Structure 1
Amino acid sequence: MDQLSSVLPSNFALLKESEQLVLVVDLEHSSNESEVFYYVQRECDRLFFLTGEQLNPKLLRIEDAGKRHLFKNRGFITSGFERLQDDIDRQQWTHKLTLQLRLWQLAHLPDLPVSVQIVLLFQIIEAEFPDTKEYPPFYESDKVPHARTEAKLIRNWVSHQGEVRKQLLRYCKYLEIEPGFFDPTDVRHCRKIPMLLEKVKQEAEGIIDAAMTKKMT
């Protein structure tokens, strides 16, 4: 519990209440539930990224005229937080990172179609690299594309239908599949898609990992 507390904001605390851990958020001024929940949710999303523990915080009660909010979650008593790396520190937040972590969490919800997972994960990459010039062109189908460009081509492949443009035609040739977009009824496509999902996931994961605040060594 001490390790978990040390990576949360200084105004967050974990208390034991009726055999469960309760997350307490203390504020200088009275705030409504939605404002406080924004800060709680982003910490839960970060913990999910770091540990794989899915958290679903629920408001338990509000005290001290709106200055203290208490949240409950069974996830707070699991052993998963033992997987927190020792070098993780309190996070220096940006709105972009808050968005990226939420997209990461959404992409890992159960029973999502793989095409939806890829789109959500690529949005993490796109938030980091919004300029199309940051995706090197893919000119030769017999050479490995740049990882970021490949992630974009995979996203395009699963999220569109209709006319296939030149770079995607080359990528289909690179994958050794017929020119066209992702067809979930095609067994060859279904065999390829787990590997392609993993490529997009690795690129998105690297972006978020680089944004994690870590202790100085």
Structure 2
Amino acid sequence: MATTKFKLSFETEKPDIDLPLFQQSLPSSFQVYEEDGNVFVNIETPVDEDDNAKYLIDRELDRHFFLTCVKIRAEIIKKRFCCGLEMRYRIHGELPKDIKPQKWNYELPLQLRLWSMAVDLQNEFRLQILYYFHIIELAYPDNSSYPEYTDNTIPPHPLTECKFLRHLIAHAGDVSTKQLKLYCKYLNIPEKMYNVTDPKYQSILLGKIKLLEDQAKKAIAINL
């Protein structure tokens, strides 16, 4: 039988936890045990070391936190690790030689502040999406700037796609509008607003950050 092993870590020093009662609260496919002073959970899964099991244990721990206020995190234990190196850098540029004093309006100071805030939110992609679209919306306030989406076999216009992404992040529940349903089909995701517990959904939206960043940069450039 395939299993996936998780180590439980506690926000503060490990509190007294009633392991039999904790086990009683969990599905029969979960086995809780203590070893060398640490608490582990084995979950029966279709394959060994199944990353998808993180969703199963996280929702149980979210329930536990709601009932007890004890914050517990689960870390998957693997015999083999794949490691990727991510590097972020900024290229420092120079001011344009022909730069002049800025002619300010209502939109530009707000756009620039939102840009600065969004760039600093590398680990909060949902807020990045909201901030980037706010920048775009200040430059394109009219609905006519967002072409209608009618064919899910092709990508939407970039501005329209940015609007769809903002809707998926900002709301919860079922998708009701026809255009947004088509966009969900295009992304091959359920007709639901963003599900924070679904790693596949999150991965798809993470891949769209660059689109919003590029469109926000263009929106700011209009006023510079």
TM-score category, normalised to shorter length: 0.5 to 0.7
Inter-partner Cα distance in structure 2 for 1:188 and 1:163: 18
Size of the alignment, in residue pairs?
134
Match of 1:124 in 2: 135
Q: How does 1:170-181 map to 2 (within 5 A)?
A: 170-181=182-193
1:89 to 93, 100, 123: 100
Change (3 A) 1:192 1:86: farther
TM-score, normalising length from structure 1? 0.56
Inter-partner Cα distance in structure 2 for 1:109 and 1:143: 32
TM-score, normalising length from structure 2? 0.55
Inter-partner Cα distance in structure 2 for 1:182 and 1:87: 44
Inter-partner Cα distance in structure 2 for 1:111 and 1:195: 13
Match of 1:192 in 2: 204
Q: How does 1:20-39 map to 2 (within 5 A)?
A: none
Partner SS for 1:211: coil
Q: How does 1:58-137 map to 2 (within 5 A)?
A: 80=92, 82-110=93-121, 113-137=124-148
Inter-partner Cα distance in structure 2 for 1:119 and 1:194: 13
RMSD (Å), alpha carbons: 2.0
Inter-partner Cα distance in structure 1 for 2:173 and 2:206: 23
Match of 2:213 in 1: 201
Question: Taking every aligned residue pair, what percent have the same amino acid on both sides?
Answer: 34
Inter-partner Cα distance in structure 1 for 2:160 and 2:121: 27
Inter-partner Cα distance in structure 2 for 1:122 and 1:157: 12
How big is the shift at 1:141?
Answer: 0.3
Partner SS for 1:173: helix
Change (3 A) 1:193 1:85: farther
Structure exhibiting the larger radius of gyration computed from Cα positions: 2
List runs of 5+ in structure 1 lacking aligned partners. 1-51, 54-79, 213-217
Change (3 A) 1:91 1:193: same
List runs of 5+ in structure 2 lacking aligned partners. 1-89
Match of 1:142 in 2: 153
Change (3 A) 1:136 1:104: same
